Structure 1
Amino acid sequence: MKLVLLHSSDTHGFLLPTDYQDKENYEAPISLSRVSSLVKAERKKYGTENVLVTDSGDCLQGSPLASYTHQLPLDDGLAKFTAAYNEIGYDARALGNHDFNFGLDYLKYYIDHNDAPIINDNILATNTDKPAFGQAYTIVEKARLKIGIMGITTQYISHWEPEEHTKGLKFVSGFKVLQKLAKKLRPQVDILVALYHGGFESDPLSGEATEPHTGENEGYKILTEIPEIDAFLTGHQHRRLNLVTQNTAIVQPGYRGEAVAKVVLEVEKDKNGQVSIKDMQTELIDTKDYEPDPAIEKIVAPLDKGTQEWLDQPIAHLSEPAPIDNAIEGRIKGAPFINLIQQMQLWFTKADISATAIMSETAKGFSKNVTMREVLLNYPYANQLCIVNISGKDLRDIIEYACGFLEKDKDGHIKFIDRWIKPKPMLYHFDMFYPVQYEADLSKPVGHRLTKLTLNGKEIEADKIYKLAVNNYRALGGGFYPGYSMDKIEKTFDQDYVQMFSEYLTKNDVKVDTRKNYKFY
């Protein structure tokens, strides 16, 4: 008999096939509406009774539509948003880290209005040490088989979210929880599945480390040390991944609903009812070949209409544009838009130095007439701004770490090293710093590349404490930078970046600094 598993993850609120850059374009090869059509086609092909459908989170944040929905009363916005996900008919779901971005009340409303069981094993209530919401597991019957489903989320959420978004919660290692739960569930089920909003800290095949083993991603450890799991359905890293290794089917379906991961298990039952898996096949099915589901289009239509009107709202007028013509080139050579972010962060914080990253590979910066659409397309994350007190030595270590992202190719051209491009682009981790003047010789060893680091014409002093303006994701450990820790955060601002851009641009006659203050050679 065949059991088919279909898995989505990291749709990030892209419910319709548009990224909202072009108001008229609804032909993008993404979206929950395309996912829905694909799932319905697969159910028709195999029979609903033989198909299990799951999702591993990051649904509430990421798209302009998701940001607009958050502005509305819950019963007007989030209710319709959640109804679109309910239309898929998921059998089980897990939460993602970005599902916490809008706070616990928002998240709990979403959970309470979700038709599918939310499986949560490692986000615990601090007062009980039991799952704070959802249920620890579910057992679903499909294809005359009992399928146990466990669910975990990256434990690193408390490193990224402000305290009020995680109050009363404890995030523990998903590996440690699954290790115990898998042993308990295995005798009760025919097939054991793990949903994980997290990825792989090492290559699933070679075991070679692909990032520092901080605990953010525990996929390789789970894969190699919990043999009870038959299918490992992952997310978080936005990777396209499908393979079978360690007698486990592993999938991860990319980002924004670009694909649905499919696992097909060929299963046999002997006369005693004992189940054995004879074959495992995995694939990623691109959703671009499926028309958007009219049922989801109908649910989302009011939100989409409101989003388009909201995005066209003018925020401010600049005396000159602040472009970034190419995100990668802008990071290396500098761009007016980068300086504008830095200027804004210094205006709010009155800090000595600012650090920022380019958060979108399609960022184009601002025209003279800045709209909400431009803000969200350039800075799609719901981050907050922090003031961090760091020593000059810490600052040097932080900038040296950023310089380690780069190398020269055989022709002498500066480029980002593969680690930050593959297996998925992570250049939102590359920070630039302002108004410090710094230069780095890329021929020197990593960690010893800075040949100049000054502020207002003076050398940065190793023992002096400087105030640094940076987003909370970085200040709380995102990106594996040295020098940051929670105890160094002096203040976190209440506004997110959309709100800050609106305030800064409307309250100031902004003159964009077009000077270049850093150089790599």
Structure 2
Amino acid sequence: MTTGVSRRAMLAASAATAAAPFVLSEAAQAHPGKPGKPEADPTYHLTVLGTSDIHGNVYNWDYYLDKEYDDSAHNDVGVAKVATLVNQLRAKAKGATLLLDAGDTIQGTPLATYYAKQEPITTTGEKHPMARAMNVLDYDAVTLGNHEFNYGLPLLNLWIRQLGFPALAANAVSAKNGRPAFTPYVIKKVDLGKHAPTLRVGILGLTNPGVAIWDRGNVAGKLEFTDMVATAAKWVPEMRRRGADLVLISAHGGDSGTSSYGPELPNENPAALIAQQVPGIDAILFGHAHLEIPQRFVANTKTGAQVLMSEPSKWGQRLTKMDFDLQRDHGKWRITSKAAATLNTNTVTEDPKVLAAVRSQHQKTVAYVNQVVATSTETLSAATSRYEDTPILDYINKVQTDTVAAAMAGTEYADLPVLSIAAPFSRTAVFPQGDVKIKDVAGLYIYDNTLEGVVLTGAEVRAYLEYSAKFFVTLAPDAPIDVNAINDPSIPDYNYDTLSGVDYDIDISKPIGSRITRLQIAGVDVAADARFVVAVNNYRRSGGGNFPGIVKEQVYNAQQEIRQLLIDWAQAKGAINPADFSTRNWQLVRAGVPIQF
């Protein structure tokens, strides 16, 4: 394993393997006291550090803006920042430390995409940048997130083999035999210090059941994803029987108890439910929701035990620090106190060893995204796209429509109109007037979604638009308009979609479900039984966002990445001119009157 940080002598890893995935505990050792003189049991200390949703961030760098990352809160990102905090905490730790990650690691930045798409590690054999970076930190385990499955199982499996530590996912099972497809858990033998008996820490990894929807094309017929709560209930007692003194869950699922998809799959965000319903868990590191939750305690309903929980935000902006004080009680370990906090990585500099490990790959990615692909006749911005029709979204729809329409030629669907759904997209994207680079196009469509096509009826198109229109608050006819407060804050803007190929009005004075007051083509109302081919990304088509009517068998699915299609179209044309694609086909109205912004 390539590493710039020496392995902690206090930890003796006993990692799982596919053939023998579990480690049995040795007999507990009593603390040796002085003969004939009772003494108070000493207190030992364990620190568990945790990251989640790193999403391909190693350097503190914004590849779309081509400069150091910064946001309105002055957060920093990247494994290199995390490493500095981890090294500081390890150096001053009172006892032992463990380092875990709760998933979504190999997708999310042009750096990660480059080594999955442009120079895939499955072709070159090169070590993935996230393997290089995380091996320097010497993690103890990583949980697979849903985005680990984005690039297919061959790339995922190769990345796992490149890691110097286990990758866990107890609830990802073989579709053929129901057995765990990845390592379910490990039990780490931890040395807490001089004269301390060995502490055995069980670490169970749980991935997100939504993979079955979001990456159906990569996992259907190969993997199934069981309920996270039920899976924990299965494995936690097993870990205890095999000698785990302390049990940690590393779960790629938030704590809201809700799902973005329908009820056909197990809960997407059940971290708190796991704590409530499964006895024997001491703490849960969780992710997926990209929230910062420094410390939360959830009582187990069966035992009353308080389960410590923490979520460390996203992209390496925060590091969770869990602290456990432990004593021996009648030959067994007992937790006397536990607490958690999140630490901000903007307080430290980047670790030079991590930077060095990934430098050449980072530089190659920067050079790639700065290639000029076309010239734009004017500046195009997505800043107002959430409340008015903009040419830059028409660009997405033009490319998607042309691609699917060409594929339908000669098929039974050739005579059906082709509509397109633009979703989701970056609200901060800009095509500058003049040279447009790969980073500009990639900055518009920041996800690795592929393009698909399905057939919808007019009624289903209307229902889809009505669902999307929930995004807006209801405004009375005489209420003032504030563009900063026009949307419902409880609905994320990535769940607001726009369609091309039909003309429609969204009347935000109307109640939800009755807002599409005009739906026409060339001035003629769209009939409920009309049929359309609809170009849509694989995330939406698979059920992401729980939009109605879209989860259907595809009539087009060439596994073409939308972002690359946008880049290819610009390169082929050489120019981006709104006159080639801009069509104002939708508007917000109030009591039938168009809203002027």
Q: Which moved more, 1:73-82 or 1:467-476?
A: 73-82
For residue 177 of structure 1, what is the aligned residue in structure 2? 231
Please give the alpha-carbon distance, in whole angstroms, between the structure 1 residues aligned to 2:359 and 2:120: 17
Measure how far apart 1:449 and its partner are: 1.4
Cross-structure match for 2:369: 311
Aligned counterpart, 2:396: 341
Secondary structure at the aligned position of 1:407 is classed as coil
Rounded to whole Å, the distance in 1 between the matches of 2:472 and 2:125 is 47
1:494 paired with 2:559, answer yes
Distance (whole Å) between structure 2 residues aligned to residue 367 and residue 292 of structure 1: 35
Corresponding residue for 2:490? Answer: 419
CA contact (8 A) 2:136 2:353 kept: yes
Contact 1:69 1:78 in 2 (8 A): no
2:309 pairs, out of 243, 250, 254, with: 250
Whole-angstrom CA distance in 1 between matches of 2:523 and 2:571 = 31
Gaps of 5+ in 2: 1-43, 193-197, 300-305, 406-416, 591-597
Please list every run of 5 or more consecutive structure 1 residues that lacks an aligned counterpart in the other structure. Answer: 204-208, 421-425
Matched residues in 2 for 1:251 and 1:2: separation?
18
Q: Which amino acid aligns with 1:244?
A: F
Residue equivalent to 2:113: 67
State the Cα distance separating 1:300 from its structure 2 match: 0.8
How much does 1:286 deviate?
A: 0.8
**Structure 1 residue matching 2:213: 3-state secondary structure:** helix
- The SS at the match of 1:282 is strand
Closer, same or farther in 2 for the Cα pair 1:255/1:360, shift >3 Å?
Answer: farther
Contact conserved, 1:475 with 1:484, CA < 8 A, in 2? yes
DSSP 3-state at the match of 1:331: coil
1:324-339 correspondence runs (5 A): 324=382, 326=383, 329-339=384-394
2:518 corresponds to 1:430? no
The number of residue pairs the alignment matches comes to 504
Would you say 1:226 and 2:281 are equivalent positions?
no
Amino acid at match of 1:498: R
For 1:20, the equivalent position in structure 2 comes to 63
**What residue is the counterpart of 1:31 in the other structure?**
78
Counterparts of 1:276-315 in structure 2, within 5 Å, are: 276-315=334-373
What is the deviation of 1:127?
2.0
CA distance in 2, matches of 1:19, 1:397: 38
TM-superposed CA distance for 1:154, in Å, is: 0.5
Please state how far the C-alpha of 1:320 moved relative to its aligned partner.
3.5
Structure with more of its chain in helix, by fraction? 1
Higher Cα Rg: structure 1 or 2? Answer: 2
Change (3 A) 1:287 1:354: same
**Which deviates more from structure 2 when the two are superposed, residues 87-96 or residues 510-519?**
510-519
Distance (whole Å) between structure 1 residues aligned to residue 262 and residue 332 of structure 2: 41
1:151 matched to 2:151: no
Counterparts in 2 of 1:4-403, with a 5 A limit?
Answer: 4-25=47-68, 29-46=76-93, 50-70=96-116, 71-72=118-119, 74=121, 75=124, 77-133=126-182, 135-142=183-190, 143=192, 144-166=198-220, 168-187=222-241, 188-202=243-257, 215-242=267-294, 243-246=296-299, 247-270=306-329, 272-324=330-382, 326=383, 329-350=384-405, 352-365=418-431, 367-403=433-469
Per-residue CA shift, 1:264-285, capped at 9, x if unaligned? 1222221x12333222211111
Deviation digits for residues 180-225 of structure 1 (CA, Å, limit 9, x no counterpart)? 111222343221111111113438xxxxx99866522222322221
For residue 519 of structure 2, give the secondary structure of its aligned residue in structure 1. Answer: strand
SS in 1 for 2:168: coil
**TM-score, normalisation: structure 1:** 0.91
Offset of residue 16 of structure 1: 0.3
Letter aligned with residue 136 of structure 1: P
Instruction: From the superposition, tell whether residues 462 and 78 of structure 1 become closer, same or farther in structure 2 (CA, over 3 Å).
Output: farther
**Is contact 2:127-2:162 (8 Å) kept?**
no
Aligned to 1:404, the other structure's residue is in SS state helix
* Cα deviation, residue 368, structure 1: 3.7
Matched AA of 1:257: G
Quick one: distance in 1 between partners of 2:425 and 2:107? 14
| 1:20 partner letter | Y
Cα deviation, 1:472-516, whole Å, max 9, x if unaligned, reads 1000000111112233x2111322123201222233465424443
Give the Å deviation of 1:431. Answer: 0.6
CA deviation after TM superposition for structure 1 residue 76, in Å: 6.2
- Partners of 2:207 and 2:179 lie apart in 1 by 15
Aligned position for 1:450: 516
Post-superposition Cα deviations, 1:49-90, rounded to whole Å, max 9, x if no partner, equal 511110012111111111222222525644444121111111
CA distance in 2, matches of 1:200, 1:460: 42
Percent of aligned positions with the same letter in both sequences? 27
Structure 1 match to 2:36: none
Flag the 1:73–1:318 CA change in 2: closer, same or farther, 3 A: same
Letter matched to residue 228 of structure 1: G
What amino acid sits opposite 1:158 in the alignment? Answer: A
- For 1:495, give the aligned amino acid: Q
With over 3 angstroms needed to count, the CA separation of the structure-2 counterparts of 1:398 and 1:289, relative to structure 1, is same
Given residue 288 of structure 1, which amino acid in structure 2 is its aligned partner?
N
RMSD (Å), alpha carbons: 2.2
Deviation at 1:438, TM superposition (A): 1.3
Give distance in 2, aligned partners of 1:162 and 1:500. 21
> Per the alignment, do residues 165 and 211 of structure 1 end up closer, same or farther by CA in structure 2, a change over 3 Å counting?
closer
- Distance, in Å, in 2 between the alignment partners of 1:407 and 1:123 is 39
Gap change, CA 1:162 and 1:492, over 3 Å in 2 = farther
**What residue number does 2:543 align with?**
477
* Alpha carbons of structure 1 residues 280 and 211: separation in structure 2 relative to 1, 3 Å: farther
CA distance in structure 1 between the aligned counterparts of 2:358 and 2:125, rounded to whole angstroms: 11
1:503 corresponds to 2:558: no
Please give the secondary structure, in 1, of the residue aligned with 2:422: strand
Q: How far apart, CA to CA, are the structure 2 residues paired with 1:5 and 1:493?
A: 44
Instruction: Provide the rounded CA distance (Å) in 2 between the counterparts of 1:463 and 1:385.
Output: 25
Q: Check conservation: 2:254, 2:269, Cα contact below 8 A.
A: yes
- Residue identity in the other structure for 1:185: M
Asked if structure 2 preserves the Cα contact closer than 8 Å seen for 1:174 and 1:218, the reply is yes
Q: After superposition, give the CA deviation of every residue in 1:323-349 in whole Å (9 maximum; x if it has no partner).
A: 22x2xx321112211111111111111
Matched residue SS, 1:419? coil
